[in-house]
Amino acid sequence: MKGNRKRVLRIAALLVVLVVAGITLEDNLPAPRQMLTTLTSADPWWLLLAAVAELTSLRHFALQQRRLLAGFGVPMSVPRAVAVTFTRSAISFSLPAGSAVSAGFAFRQFRTAGASRRTAGAVAVLSSVLSGVALVLMYAVVVPIPSLFGSGRAAGNGDTLVLVLALLVVALLVFAFDFWLSPRSGRGSSPGVPQADDDDHPGSDSTHERRGRGVRDSVRRTVADLRGLPRRSWVLSLLHATVNWGLDFACLAATTAAFGIDVSLIRLATVYLTVQLVRQIPISPGGIGVVEVALLAGLVSAGAAQGPAAAAMFVYRLLSCWMIIPLGLLAYATLRRRRPVEPAEPSTPAMAGQS
């Protein structure tokens, strides 16, 4: 009964948010004909650059989790990691409580790849923590770099072009470095963290005592595992996560440039960071409705005209959210067709360090 009440309240809150978002967007969006004219006036090269940046961003999110698994001696191919990423992103964007369902799906995929329960849980938690740290690094370190060589304004979109191209080059270098450390190249193959499933605690203790002791032991062992994670796994995972955020922001920057919006990268990054914080409010799947309103309001407050701001918001959300849902369904079908891999025994030096 209590669960049904929570579900009804969540659905009601979602409907309220969507109604408010619809009213707000209707009041701030230009007329359909004007919107179509603005969309058709976009620079196609900037739109292509935005699409490349977003796809590369998703690839590095996959590589981040793949590198963490490799640190625990669990191999996962790049195509499978990318398919898992697209699928879990589609789940997160399209289902109520999508983030939780997406995390559960990733956990099962990690187990299928050969990870123990403890390893799969540690990778899921550590991936989220590193993503949060990487978002701060992206805002504090990556975004201001082009402004050091310019006026701080996107005059002629020069700063935006420098940022997008620089991040794409960095993404290529990080991927090449990760590949260079893979066992196939004969380099960087050191033992990972040995895996072990959680131990049961038989005995005459009460159920409550066994559960309490099991939780404490699980936390202690997980912390010990994280301390034993190879240094390169920490560094590369953080680099992949920073590139992931940086290129997602680059997608937004390229999209605004496509419609001639002249806003400094620092102000645009502040809008982006605000939108990412708003997106964490678990009201609607993928922040649909909430993110659109926040992004449109942020772009207008940063100095963009209403028409180009609405068009940039539409295209950015199309590339970073709406188009990922059908792509995720295709990726899920691919994963379903593949023969499941039996979970491996605790890792050995022969399989450790693979990436």
Task: Tokens 């991936």: give the residue.
Answer: 127
Q: In whole angstroms, what separates CA 258 from the centre of its chain?
A: 24
Nearest-CA neighbor of 89 among 315, 329, 352, 314?
Answer: 329
Cβ proximity of 29 and 299 under 8 Å: no
b/e code 182-205 from CB counts within 10 Å (16+ = b): bbeeeebbeebbbbeeeeeeeeee
For 171-203, the pLDDT digits (tens) are 999 999 988 877 554 344 444 555 555 544 445
Cβ proximity of 86 and 58 under 8 Å: yes
Handedness of CA 224, 227, 232, 238 (dihedral sign): positive
Q: What is the reported pLDDT for 7?
A: 56
Handedness of CA 249, 251, 252, 257 (dihedral sign): positive
> Which residue did the predictor score with more confidence, 101 or 1?
101
Q: How confident is the model at residue 317 (pLDDT cuts 50, 70, 90)?
A: very high
For 66-123, the pLDDT digits (tens) are 999 999 889 999 999 999 999 999 998 888 778 888 989 999 999 999 998 888 988 9
Rounded to whole angstroms, how far apart are CA atoms 96 and 3? Answer: 14
Q: How confident is the model at residue 252 (pLDDT cuts 50, 70, 90)?
A: very high
DSSP 233-250: HHHHHHHHHHHHHHHHHH
Cβ proximity of 264 and 153 under 8 Å: yes
Tell whether the model's pLDDT for residue 129 goes beyond 80.
Answer: yes
- Lowest mean pLDDT: which of 166-170, 225-229, 257-261, 301-305? 225-229
Rounded to whole angstroms, how far apart are CA atoms 211 and 220? Answer: 14
Q: What is the reported pLDDT for 345?
A: 45
The mean per-residue pLDDT over the stretch 130-135 comes to 92
In the chain, domain spans = 36-198+214-337
Angle at 3 between CA 16 and CA 289, to 5 degrees: 25
Q: What is the reported pLDDT for 131?
A: 92
Helices (H), the chain: 2-28, 32-40, 44-71, 78-94, 98-112, 117-137, 158-180, 207-227, 231-258, 265-279, 290-301, 306-317, 324-337
- Is residue 323 exposed (0-12), middle (13-18) or buried (19+ Cβ within 10 Å)? middle
Angle at 75 between CA 73 and CA 81, to 5 degrees: 130
Helices (H), 72-97: 78-94
Q: What is the reported pLDDT for 84?
A: 95
Which structure tokens are listed for 99? 């983030």
Question: For the chain, what percentages of helix, strand and coil (3-state, to nearest 5) are there?
Answer: 75, 0, 25
The mean per-residue pLDDT over the stretch 297-304 comes to 88
For 10-48, the pLDDT digits (tens) are 555 555 555 555 555 555 566 666 667 778 889 999 999
Tell whether the model's pLDDT for residue 305 goes beyond 90.
Answer: no
